[in-house]
Amino acid sequence: MDHEPPKPPVEPTNCVGIDVGILKYAHDTDGTAIGSLDLSVERARLEREQRALSRKEYGSANWEKQRTVVAHRHADIKRKRRDFLHKLSTYYATEYDLVAVEDLDATGLIELDGNSRNRAGAAWGTFKRLLEYKCEREGTHFVAVEPAGTTNECAACGVSTDKPLWVREHSCPSCGFTADRDANAAWNILARGLEQIGVGHSESMPVETALPVDTPVSAKRVIETGSPALNEPSVDGSLRAG
């Protein structure tokens, strides 16, 4: 039985735009900057086991035993990445009424030269699919927007300024608005999402005054707590520092 997609909120207040990247996995319009998942230790273990496998006689009992070890290392990396994406997508789907993301061609990005491992490891396509599914399940409106120009356009005035990847700050030569590069992109994504569903940008959320101070959050925190929140309720209901 098909489910109708949730209707967009008439006056969205609890909404978020999410920009995914390489240096940070995600940056949202609430100022949360989530670091990429560090699997360097797991990859090093995998490479060691792969080298050990290459030294075994193909088809022998020892080769088969080592092949199983390599398969387990691969599965461990896949499980940890999937766990991170599941918890992060669940957080956004349950905490917001509307979630806007870029409609990225993840396959095309992976095929680009340079940073291919980072792009592949980020699994943006998987995150988008999980987020869309969970938003539908939770009754949260999900909208994917055209990604072109979200980084270069000023979220305050709309003027486009080219930025090489190494430039991490948005500084508009037209209106003077400055922000983290990814924060600026996230605000553009949210604005496009609201426009796409015909809601429009709320006057109570001007970028110039609503942009929060960035809160860096490690991927490890997402895995351990299930959300990037820095403060979580304790057993007695009071807040404790994360």
Catalytically active residues are 19, 102, 182
- 113: amino acid identity, one letter: D
Half-sphere exposure of 165 (CA within 13 A, CB side): 6
Contact 146, 192 (CB under 8 A): yes
CB 212 within 8 A of CB 30: yes
Residue of 156, 221, 222 whose CA lies nearest to 183: 156
CB atoms near residue 67 (< 10 Å): 16
Edge to edge, the sheet with strand 15-20 lists 141-145, 98-102, 15-20, 24-28, 32-35, 215-217
Element (H, E) at 83: helix 61-95
Residue with tokens 């020892």: 62
Helix (H) / strand (E) containing 118? helix 116-122
The span from the CA of 112 to the CA of 143, in Å, is 26
Pull the structure tokens for residue 107. Answer: 């396959």
HSE value, Cβ hemisphere, 13 Å, CA-based, for 15 = 30
What are the structure tokens assigned to 93, written together?
């789907």
Of 116, 76, 91, which is closest to residue 28 (Cα–Cα)?
91
